[in-house]
Homo-oligomer: A and B are copies of this chain.
Amino acid sequence: MATPHTHTHDHGSWNTHAADALARKGTRRSSARDAVVTAIAAQDCCASAQEIHARLRTDGSTVGIASVYRTLELLHGMGLVTRIDTGDGVARFEPTHPGGEHHHHLVCTSCGAVEAFHDDALEEAIHRIADRVDFRVDAHDVALRGACRACR
């Protein structure tokens, strides 16, 4: 049930999903935002604002770091992006897939590597908690910390 999560999502689908949501919200179209959205769509796992910015600049874009943070904040507020805190003081982001399926993370405390995994029993347990508790649960995240294969 706990799989290594070898999925390869259709990046394009999230890209258009996000573009539609932004249009529906009435935001203006801009090259900076487009570039950031496209960059996020291309990610396989989470990336920090700085990493996204660096990749964009390497590819010739002139987006400012502020626009990357602004776009991430906007997308996060709209639920289009999931924020992951691995505990090193850096926020990482990855696309939120519309179907609701998602994964969680194994964080190596020695080298900082992040791997993804998915587990149905875990999701089930969390949903049951959400139903039972006096709290409206919108999202959840799980991090398992330890040593990856290489660091062990």
Residues of A whose CB lies within 8 Å of any CB of B are 1-2, 4, 83, 85, 87, 89, 91, 106, 108-109, 115, 117, 119, 121-122, 124-126, 128-130, 132-149, 152
**Out of B106, B108, B124, B139, which one reaches A133, CB within 8 Å?**
B106
Query: Which residues of chain B come closer than 8 Å to A1, judged between CB atoms?
Result: 128, 132
For the A-B complex with A4-B133, A106-B133, A115-B135 known, give 18 more contacts whose Cβ atoms are closer than 8 Å. Answer: A2-B129, A2-B133, A85-B85, A89-B89, A117-B133, A119-B129, A121-B125, A122-B125, A124-B125, A125-B125, A129-B144, A137-B144, A137-B145, A138-B147, A139-B144, A139-B145, A140-B142, A141-B142
Q: Is A144 touching B130 in the complex (CB atoms < 8 A)?
A: yes
15 A–B contacts from the bound complex (CB under 8 Å): A1-B128, A1-B132, A2-B128, A2-B132, A4-B134, A85-B87, A87-B91, A115-B135, A117-B129, A117-B133, A119-B128, A125-B125, A135-B144, A135-B146, A139-B146
Bound Cα distance from A89 to B136, whole angstroms:
23
A71 CB to closest chain B CB (Å) equals 18
Whether A138 pairs with B133 at a CB distance below 8 angstroms is: no
How far, in whole Å, are A11 and B87 apart by their CA atoms in the complex?
26
